[in-house]
Amino acid sequence: MTQSTLSTAPATASAIELEDRWGAHNYHPLPVVLTRGEGVYLWDEQGRRYLDMMSAYSAVSFGHSRPELVEALTQQAQRLAITSRAYHTDRLGPFLEKLCRLTGLARALPMNTGAEAVETAIKAARKWGYRVKGVPQGQAQIIVAAGNFAGRTTTIVGFSSEAQYRDGFGPFAPGFVEVPYGDVAALERAITPHTAAFLVEPIQGEAGIVVPPAGYLRAVRELCTRHRVLLICDEVQTGLGRTGRVLACEHEGVLPDAVTLGKALGGGLLPVSAFVAREDVMSVFGPGDHGSTFGGNPLAAAVGLAALELLEREGLSEQAERQGRYLRERLLALQHPAVREVRGKGLLVGVEIDPRFASARAVCEALMAEGVLSKDTHHTVVRLAPPLVITGAQIDSAVAALGRALRSVEPDSRLAA
């Protein structure tokens, strides 16, 4: 059975039509209906297997249906799942302790989604600015980098440099200042006595896997310390082993004042996020200042703790470092004229496609026909971020499929040139 037959099979068409009829059109998925996942693989309705090279934007870093994590989820669900933070539970404390010890920070505040973690960071930074730094009330500023992506709430899209993310959703909250990503001098010029924090991704994911110049984060750390500005690293996508370190900022030996975590923290099973910070930053929160009905629930805490333990026990950060290096080597060995650049760290890799050959979307559609799933970003980048448990043989398979996909989408006239 061919891929075209599969994609138009009645069951698949029905599932896609139902989503299209009853769902908001805020996504443009590839035309495949997935029903099952295990390890680095996914299966569609017709039973065809795909190699998952995106792992739900890093949320499935440990692989689909990882048995230890499913067991932690199942056992806790049968005991106690939700209580709200109106009461203590036996699961939350161990989870928070593990988070703090792993990140080297003092306290953690659990939430659900990455965007909630970032919103928590914004609130903490502003209140720290007023209570600790002495910024005049209502005048705190947070510096952000152009090309950032931190979520979809109205506050967050308000400081995005992507026009589509902002279009039609204003008015936006004031108090944010944008500087070019990777430019230390621009950051220093933007700092004023009213600056409370600099919120930055160690590697920009949604912008196209953009890696800053070497030494950038170290220089930023020194600058923030000198001017008494909080350095908040958004590690929702890059954290927990993805780039070859527990935190991506560790590549430059940087300890931020706070980090946001999410995605992989839920073990690929449910949304779990956290804002983790040093003592004086977290101490600005008192009872009633911030919270979430579901944040820190026993089910999330049990799965999050199991995920962190698995990350350490199996050395998955080191695994991502090794396999990521191999993935980039294999991609460069393609030496295909459509590939402008291969960039990234660990198993967070972007393949920049020359738009004169094809769109990144077309490449991802061709990859799907080859049995590999990924997703484009910014129209020109194919992102490759598989589960951290991927093997060398599976990487070989994915890269070979990309080579075939590139050959299938490029124009014949350009091939001849």
Within 8 A by CB and 6+ apart from 158, the residues are 166, 169, 170, 172, 173, 176
d(CA 108, CA 242): 20
Q: Which of residues 313, 339, 355 is at a domain's end?
A: 313
Over residues 368-388, the mean pLDDT reads 96
- The percent of the chain in helix, strand and coil, each rounded to the nearest 5, is 40, 20, 40
Q: What is the set of active-site residues?
A: 149, 234, 263
Over residues 278-294, the mean pLDDT reads 97
pLDDT at residue 378, as a whole number: 87
Q: What is the pTM of this model?
A: 0.94
Mean pLDDT, all residues of the chain: 95
Q: How confident is the model at residue 413 (pLDDT cuts 50, 70, 90)?
A: very low
d(CA 39, CA 49): 12
Q: Which of residues 276, 293, 313 is at a domain's end?
A: 313
Residue 160 shares a structural domain with residue 265: yes
Residue 232 shares a structural domain with residue 369: no
pLDDT at residue 12, as a whole number: 75
CATH code, domain carrying 13: 3.90.1150.10
pLDDT in tens, 218-227: 999 999 999 9
Residue from 249, 215, 211, 212 nearest 232 by CA: 249
Query: Phi/psi class of residue 135: alpha, beta or left (left: φ > 0; alpha: ψ in -120 to 50)?
Result: beta
d(CA 261, CA 238): 9
Q: How confident is the model at residue 416 (pLDDT cuts 50, 70, 90)?
A: very low
Residue 358 shares a structural domain with residue 290: no
Q: How confident is the model at residue 410 (pLDDT cuts 50, 70, 90)?
A: low
pLDDT in tens, 70-113: 999 999 999 999 999 999 999 999 999 999 999 999 999 999 99
d(CA 87, CA 37): 35
Residue 243 shares a structural domain with residue 309: yes
pLDDT at 5 over 80: no
Residue 293 shares a structural domain with residue 391: no
Residue 347 shares a structural domain with residue 276: no
CATH code, domain carrying 104: 3.40.640.10
Residue 223 shares a structural domain with residue 340: no
Within 8 A by CB and 6+ apart from 107, the residues are 96, 100, 276, 277, 278, 279, 282, 283
Residue 214 shares a structural domain with residue 305: yes
Total domain count, the chain: 2
Alpha-helical regions (H) of 177-297: 184-190, 216-227, 279-282
- Residue 120 has, within 13 A of its CA and on its CB side, a CA count of 30
Beta carbons of 60 and 41 less than 8 angstroms apart: no
Residue 84 shares a structural domain with residue 148: yes
pLDDT at 6 over 80: no
Q: Which of residues 313, 337, 360 is at a domain's end?
A: 313
Residue 308 shares a structural domain with residue 342: no
Beta carbons of 46 and 1 less than 8 angstroms apart: yes
Residue 127 shares a structural domain with residue 220: yes
Residue 179 shares a structural domain with residue 245: yes
Q: How confident is the model at residue 208 (pLDDT cuts 50, 70, 90)?
A: very high
**Residue 302, token pair as written in the block:** 């049990």
Range of the domain at 382: 3-65+316-416
